[in-house]
Amino acid sequence: MNGLRAAIVRGARRTRRRGDGVHAPRSGDGYEFVQLRGYEEGDDPRRIDWAATARVGSLQTRVFLEETSLVLAAFIDESASMRVGRKRRLTDAADDALRAWFGAAESEDRTLRIVDDRIVNGTRPALHARAARPFDLRRTLTFAAHVLPVGASLLAVLDGFDLPAEESPSAGPVDELLLAVAARCDATVLLARDPWYDGLPLRGLRRVRDAESGRSRLLYFGRRARERFVAAVAEREKRLTARFRNAGWRVGALDETDGRASLDRAFGLIGALDFAPAGA
C-alpha cells in the first residue's frame, strides 16, 4: 500500500465531528491489525490495548486495516481563474493531484469524479473528464452532499474565488454545505495558491486581464500596492484555510509546480509549505 493510500485510509477511519462537536467512531473498522498508536480523542475505548498502555505508560490504541474498500471521489474547479500560473497553469497542478489521488486506488476501490452535475466512474474516464459548464462551487457541493456514499474520501481542488465572502448573505448556506460534505466524507481541499503570492511581477502602469471574464484594466502598481497585494493574498489564504478547517475539511495548498507534492503535504506525508508567503 503506497503512503498516500495509507494516509487516505487513516483519514477515512478518523473519527469526525457530528452536529455540535460530538465525536463518533466511524463504522467499518476492520480486523486486520496494522499498528499501535497513541490514543486520540474519539477512539473507540474497546480498541485500547491495555497491555501496551501498561508498557508505554500512556493509552495506546490498536489500529486495524479497514476491510471495506475506499471510495475516492474528486472534483476540480476547471474555471478560467485556475488556468493561470507563473510557469504552468494551476489546472495542470490540479491534474497532477488528481492523478495522484486516483493513483492511490487499488483494485477493490471505487473512483469517481464529479463533473458538472454528473458522476464519472472509473479512473481513466474520471481523469479525462472535462466540465462542459462553468464551475459552480455551491452546486457542486450540493451534488456531492447528496450523491457521495457515506464514508467516501473526497478531494476538491479549487481557488476559492467563487466561495462567497464570510460577510455575504450567501455565505451561510455554502458553509452549511461544507459542513454537510465533511460530515458525510473525509474531505480534503487543495486551495490553489496564488501564483504571485510572494509578489506581483508588475511595476508601474500595467494592463491586467481577468481570467474569467476577459475584462482588462490599466492599473498602477507601486511599491506599496505590491506590498498590499502580498498581504491581501496571505490574509485571503489564511481566511480560506480557517473556513474549510472549521467546516471539518483537511486543507492543503496547491502549488502550481507540483500537484502531487501538494497532495502529499496536505496529508502530512512530507513537510508542509510555509503557508504564509515570505515577507507577508
Partner 1 sequence: MSFAHPFVLALTLLAVAALLWGLRALDRRRSADALAYSNLAFLEAAAATRVPWPAIVAGVWALAAACFGVALAGPHLVAPVAVRDGAVALCIDTSGSMSATDVQPTRADAALRAVRAFIDSVPDGTRISIVAFSSSAAVIMPASDDKDAVRDALARIPAPNGGTAIGDALDVAARSLPPVRHRAIVLVTDGVNNAGSDPLEVAPQIGATGTTIDTVGIGTSGSGLLIPGTSEEADLDESALRAVAEAGHGAYARVGDADALARRLSDIARSTTVEPRRIDASFPLAIAGGTIMIVATFGAFGLGRFP
| Chain contacts with partner 1 (rule: CB under 8 A) | 81-84, 159, 161, 192, 194, 196, 200-213, 215-222, 224-226, 228-229, 231-233, 236
Provide the minimum distance between the beta carbon of 17 and partner 1 in the complex, in angstroms, as a whole number: 31
Of residues 176 and 210, the one with the C-beta less far from partner 1: 210
Provide the minimum distance between the beta carbon of 250 and partner 1 in the complex, in angstroms, as a whole number: 23
- Residue 245 vs residues 6, 166, 276: alpha-carbon distances, Å: 21, 14, 16
CA distance 109 to 156: 18
- Cβ atoms of residues 94 and 259 within 8 Å: yes
Residue 19 grid coordinates: 452536529
Give the Cβ contact number of residue 62 at 10 Å.
Answer: 17
Of residues 46 and 223, the one with the C-beta less far from partner 1: 223
CA distance 42 to 55: 22
Provide the minimum distance between the beta carbon of 84 and partner 1 in the complex, in angstroms, as a whole number: 5
- Cβ atoms of residues 61 and 224 within 8 Å: no
Of residues 231 and 270, the one with the C-beta less far from partner 1: 231
Of residues 1 and 278, the one with the C-beta less far from partner 1: 278
Of residues 27 and 213, the one with the C-beta less far from partner 1: 213
Provide the minimum distance between the beta carbon of 272 and partner 1 in the complex, in angstroms, as a whole number: 23
Q: In sequence order, what are the beta bridge partners of 58?
A: none
Provide the minimum distance between the beta carbon of 80 and partner 1 in the complex, in angstroms, as a whole number: 8
Provide the minimum distance between the beta carbon of 223 and partner 1 in the complex, in angstroms, as a whole number: 11
Q: How many CA atoms lie within 13 A of 17 on its CB side?
A: 15
Return the residue matching grid coordinates 502529499: 264
Of residues 208 and 276, the one with the C-beta less far from partner 1: 208
Provide the minimum distance between the beta carbon of 200 and partner 1 in the complex, in angstroms, as a whole number: 7
- Amino acid identity for residue 198 in this structure: D
CA distance 136 to 50: 50
- Amino acid identity for residue 10 in this structure: R
Rg (CA), the chain: 20
Of residues 48 and 202, the one with the C-beta less far from partner 1: 202
